[in-house]
């Protein structure tokens, strides 16, 4: 019987622990996350709202800085500088994607690495690759937390990561390597994906292709981690893994209520980490 990895339940536990930690804070100042949104993309608006709501649930303060889509690069960098200097703000995240005329890489570079709770600043990306303490991007961090919560042993396992984005594929591959897995990364130019999926003990599907993984392309007992989010023809949320694969797996994450809720919980965790660091720095 395949075991469902319940990301919703685990994320609720993580959030409850954070809420308890926030209640224990004796400082006059509570943790605070600043979320920067440029333009009026509906999906980005929903993501920002859900992050702010999650902060409220656990007692983390939040502020949304919303700018018109035609903001200039310089104006955005000035706004980030203010947030970097604001000692009441612990974490800063810029909701991506940004409008085309803005330089995302330069924007990331201008978030203070100490407040970069998304872990996208090049310094933090480098730290992750060097196995140094850093902010680990929320989705990969959530995946590792789920795998650990279900005591799945990664050591020496053949793990296939499908997707090589900066947001998911690359950082999760690095984290899995740090857990002593033998990691293969597949991507859009991979020639024989089926051969790789059939051989894998664990598959992390982050290609953004609905139902890319089918039952005849996996081996029995595989662990299926599904990062993809899609709407099927009935408007129901689904992932990169066809649900018909589940019965062949040993463990699997559903969509929804798998990886998705873990992402937000890990963002809150990173914000707490930023707060604790900042408070420590100002201790005399
Ligand atoms: P992306 O488009 O930036 O990257 C997709 C990657 O998949 C690319 O590296 C590409 O080379 C690879 N790819 C595409 N088609 C492929 C194929 N047929 N075979 C093998 N590789 C292929 O996407 P992303 O930002 O990494 O997100 C991936 C998916 O995860 C999306 O569905 C996204 O909505 C979802 N996502 C979910 C969460 C969450 O919290 N659950 C977070 C981030 C992204």
Numbers of helices and strands, H then E, in the chain: 9, 11
**SS3 call for 117:** coil
Cα 217 to Cα 36, 192, 212, 213: the distances in Å are 41, 11, 9, 7
Nearest protein Cα to ligand 1, atom 6: 163
Q: Enumerate residues 6+ apart whose C-beta is below 8 A from 280.
A: none
CA distance 131 to 96: 26
Predicted pLDDT at 128: 96
Nearest protein Cα to ligand 1, atom 8: 163
CATH of domain 138-260: 3.40.50.720
Q: Enumerate residues 6+ apart whose C-beta is below 8 A from 49.
A: none
Q: Distance from the CA of 55 to the center of ligand 1, in angstroms?
A: 26
Distance of CA 243 to the CA centre of its chain: 22
Task: Establish whether residue 164 lines the binding site of ligand 1, counting it when its CB lies within 6 angstroms of any ligand atom.
Answer: yes
Task: Establish whether residue 254 lines the binding site of ligand 1, counting it when its CB lies within 6 angstroms of any ligand atom.
Answer: no
Whose tokens are 């999926």? That residue is 197
* pLDDT tens, residue by residue, 49-106: 999 999 999 999 999 999 999 999 999 999 999 999 999 999 999 999 999 999 999 9
Task: Establish whether residue 140 lines the binding site of ligand 1, counting it when its CB lies within 6 angstroms of any ligand atom.
Answer: no
Q: Report yes or no: 238 and 213 within 8 Å, Cβ to Cβ.
A: no
Atom of ligand 1 nearest to the CA of 164: 9
The sign of the dihedral angle between the CA atoms of 68, 69, 75, 78 is positive
With the most atoms of ligand 1 within 8 angstroms of its CB, the residue from 206, 256, 259 to mutate is 206
List, by residue number, the catalytic residues.
51, 95, 118
Q: Tell me which DSSP letter residue 116 carries.
A: B
What residue segments make up the domains of the chain, in order of their start? Answer: 28-112, 138-260
Q: Distance from the CA of 207 to the center of ligand 1, in angstroms?
A: 3
**Helix axes 259-281 and 42-58, enclosed angle (nearest 10):** 60
Mean pLDDT, all residues of the chain = 96
CATH architecture of the domain formed by 28-112: 3-Layer(aba) Sandwich (3.40)
Nearest protein Cα to ligand 1, atom 18: 188
pTM of the model: 0.96
Q: Report yes or no: 19 and 58 within 8 Å, Cβ to Cβ.
A: yes
Q: Distance from the CA of 163 to the center of ligand 1, in angstroms?
A: 5
Predicted pLDDT at 284: 56
Is a pLDDT exceeding 60 seen at residue 152? yes
* 258: preceding bond cis by omega (within 30 degrees): no
* pLDDT tens, residue by residue, 222-263: 999 999 999 999 999 999 999 999 999 999 999 999 999 999
* 117: preceding bond cis by omega (within 30 degrees): no
- Pairing mode, if any, of strands 230-231 and 237-238? antiparallel
Percent pLDDT > 90 in the chain is: 96
Q: Report yes or no: 116 and 135 within 8 Å, Cβ to Cβ.
A: yes
Atom of ligand 1 nearest to the CA of 239: 32
Is a pLDDT exceeding 80 seen at residue 283? no
Task: Establish whether residue 229 lines the binding site of ligand 1, counting it when its CB lies within 6 angstroms of any ligand atom.
Answer: yes
Q: Which of 51, 14, 8 is nearest to 256 (CA)?
A: 8
Cα 24 to Cα 19, 59, 115, 266: the distances in Å are 9, 11, 22, 19
């Amino acid at each position: 019987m395949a075991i469902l990895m319940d990301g919703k339940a685990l994320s609720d536990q993580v959030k409850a622990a954070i809420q308890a930690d926030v209640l224990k804070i004796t400082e006059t100042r509570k943790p605070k996350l600043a979320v920067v949104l440029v333009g009026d993309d509906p999906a980005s608006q929903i993501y920002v709202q859900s992050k702010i709501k999650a902060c409220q649930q656990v007692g983390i303060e939040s502020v949304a800085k919303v700018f018109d889509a035609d903001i200039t690069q310089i104006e955005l960098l000035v706004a980030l500088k203010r947030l970097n200097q604001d000692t009441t703000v612990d974490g800063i995240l810029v909701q991506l994607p940004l409008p085309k005329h803005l330089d995302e890489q330069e924007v990331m570079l201008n978030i203070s690495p100490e407040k970069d709770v998304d872990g996208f600043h090049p310094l933090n990306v480098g730290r992750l690759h060097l196995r140094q303490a850093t902010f680990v991007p929320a989705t990969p961090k959530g995946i590792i937390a789920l795998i650990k919560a279900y005591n799945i042993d990664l050591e020496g396992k053949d793990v296939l990561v499908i997707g090589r984005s900066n947001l998911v594929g690359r950082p999760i591959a690095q984290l899995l390597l740090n857990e002593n897995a033998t990691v293969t990364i597949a991507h859009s130019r991979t020639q024989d994906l089926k051969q790789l999926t059939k051989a894998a003990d664990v598959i992390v599907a982050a290609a953004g292709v609905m139902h890319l993984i089918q039952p005849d392309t996996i081996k029995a007992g595989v662990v299926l981690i599904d990062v993809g989010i899609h709407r099927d023809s009935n408007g129901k949320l689904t992932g990169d893994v066809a649900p018909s694969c589940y019965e062949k797996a040993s463990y699997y994450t559903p969509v929804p209520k798998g990886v998705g809720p873990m992402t937000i919980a890990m963002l809150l965790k990173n914000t707490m980490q930023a707060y604790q660091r900042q408070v420590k720095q100002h201790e005399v």
